[in-house]
Amino acid sequence: MTPGFAEWSDAPQRARIERLKLHDARPLDAPRVNEIQVAAGRTEVNLERLIADADRHLLVAECDGRVLGWAAIHYLSRSDGLAGRGHYLAGVTVDPPERRRGVGLALTRARLDWIWERADIAWYFVNAQNTVSIALHENLGFELVGTSAGVHGADFSGGLGLIFRAERPHAPENPPAKAKVPR
């Protein structure tokens, strides 16, 4: 298993966390976010700096005051090959003991809603070996744009990156007006 990636499991989902609350990340969440990063085998982050960056938007998910996961959106003002300019889902990590309980999906849906309030397109790229992340995003409207050895400075550890984009879902159309019968 690649360090930092969750292990694929064919086991069914676990009981959903009912009292899950999502809110913007705050500097005081930094120690817990980095505890999760370490537990997940991922690099620690400077949360205060990320929060202060106007091109990023960070969310945490908590239950009864305990942060269980966090996620980021990053606005990239330039395209890079097939990967366009725009809002990217830029990482989501859930505390390993709390996985498969809907936290990652909730953080991802909330990030997409945030993007849809501002843009028509959402972007996401991922290491092709991160099958769990790909499954998480599968039913959220993403379509594969292409592959790349590196995109927007991301390191795919000698592997391949997959670039996805999704379009804002259309509001259900108004029912067509009834045609008047000419008299």
Ligand X SMILES: CC(C)(COP(=O)(O)OP(=O)(O)OC[C@H]1O[C@@H](n2cnc3c(N)ncnc32)[C@H](O)[C@@H]1OP(=O)(O)O)[C@@H](O)C(=O)NCCC(=O)NCCS
- Identify the sign of the CA torsion 82, 85, 87, 88: positive
C-alpha to C-alpha distance for 38 and 18, rounded to whole angstroms:
25
Binding of residue 152 to ligand X (CB under 6 A): no
Main-chain phi, psi angles of 67, to 5 degrees: -70, 130
C-alpha to C-alpha distance for 22 and 43, rounded to whole angstroms:
23
* One character per residue 111-130, x = contact with ligand X (rule: CB under 6 A): ---------------x---x
| The one segment of 22-30, 74-82, 93-101, 115-123 that binds ligand X by CB under 6 A | 93-101
C-alpha to C-alpha distance for 181 and 137, rounded to whole angstroms:
48
Binding of residue 103 to ligand X (CB under 6 A): yes
Instruction: Return the number of other C-beta atoms located less than 10 Å from residue 135's C-beta.
Output: 12
Binding of residue 104 to ligand X (CB under 6 A): yes
| The one segment of 44-52, 87-95, 140-148, 155-163 that binds ligand X by CB under 6 A | 87-95
- The residues with which 122 forms a beta bridge, in sequence order, are 87, 166
Residue 133: in which H helix or E strand, if any? helix 131-137
One of 20, 58, 59, 92 touching ligand X (CB under 6 A): 92
| The one segment of 45-53, 95-103, 140-148, 171-179 that binds ligand X by CB under 6 A | 95-103
One of 28, 52, 135, 144 touching ligand X (CB under 6 A): 135
| The one segment of 7-15, 115-123, 144-152, 168-176 that binds ligand X by CB under 6 A | 7-15
Binding of residue 37 to ligand X (CB under 6 A): no
Binding of residue 100 to ligand X (CB under 6 A): yes
Binding of residue 73 to ligand X (CB under 6 A): no
One of 74, 99, 111, 165 touching ligand X (CB under 6 A): 99
Instruction: Return the number of other C-beta atoms located less than 10 Å from residue 90's C-beta.
Output: 22
Main-chain phi, psi angles of 73, to 5 degrees: -120, 140
Binding of residue 162 to ligand X (CB under 6 A): no
Provide, rounded to whole angstroms, the least separation between the CB of residue 21 and ligand X: 15
Q: How far is CA 141 from the centre of its chain?
A: 13
